[in-house]
Structure 1
Amino acid sequence: MDPPVVPADRLDDWHRVEHTTERPFAAGPVSVAATTVRYERPAEQPPAPFFFASRLAIRPETSPNRALTRLVERRARAGFRDRLADRDIEGVESHGERRIGIKDPAASRATLVTYRGQAVIEPVEDPPSETGTSTPGRVPVEALLAVWTADDYLLAGGGYPLDDGAEEARRTLLRLVRRVRG
Structure 2
Amino acid sequence: MAATPPQVAADRLDDWECVEVSVDTLFSLPVVAVEGYTLVYEDAPLRERFRTATGEPITRFFFATRLAFVPALSSRVEALLQPTVASAAQGAFADQLDDRGLSTVTREGRQRLTVDSGKRASATVYTASYEWDGMAVPIEGLLAVWRGDGFTIAGGAYPSGDDDLGVEVDAERYESALIELIGGVA
Q: Output the TM-score relative to the length of structure 2.
A: 0.84
Q: Distance in 2 between matches of 1:66 and 1:151?
A: 11
Any gaps of 5 or more consecutive residues in structure 2?
51-56, 162-168
Q: Which residue number in structure 2 is paired with residue 51 of structure 1?
A: 62
Distance 1:169 1:66, change over 3 A: same
Query: For structure 1, which runs of at least 5 residues remain unmatched after alignment?
Result: 122-134
- How far, CA to CA, are the matches of 1:38 and 1:152 in structure 2? 19
Indicate which of 162, 170, 176 corresponds to 1:171: 176
CA RMSD of aligned residues (A): 1.4
Hey, what's the Cα distance between the residues in 1 that align with 2:16 and 2:120? 26
Work out whether 1:9 is the aligned partner of 2:2: no
Aligned-pair distance for 1:179?
1.0
Q: Which residue of 1 aligns with 2:127?
A: 116
Task: Give the 3-state SS of the residue equivalent to 1:48 in structure 2.
Answer: coil
Query: What secondary structure, in the 3-state scheme, does the structure 2 residue paired with 1:57 have?
Result: strand
1:58 CA displacement: 1.3
CA distance in 2, matches of 1:174, 1:101: 10
Counterpart for residue 40 of structure 2: 38
Query: 2:109 is matched with which residue?
Result: 96
Q: Which of 86, 90, 95 is residue 77 of structure 1 equivalent to?
A: 90
% identity of equivalent residues: 37
- Find the partner of 2:158 among 157, 160, 169: 160
Structure 2 CA distance for aligned equivalents of residues 67 and 137 of structure 1: 44
1:34-77 CA distance string (max 9 Å, x none): 00001000211141110110000112311344430001000000
Q: For 1:104, what is the secondary structure of its paired residue?
A: coil
CA distance in 2, matches of 1:118, 1:29: 40
Point out the structure with max Rg over C-alpha: 1
Residue type of the alignment partner of 2:147: T
- The verdict on how the C-alpha distance between 1:63 and 1:109 changes in structure 2, with shifts beyond 3 A counting, is farther
Count matched residues: 166
Give the aligned residue type for 2:6. Answer: P
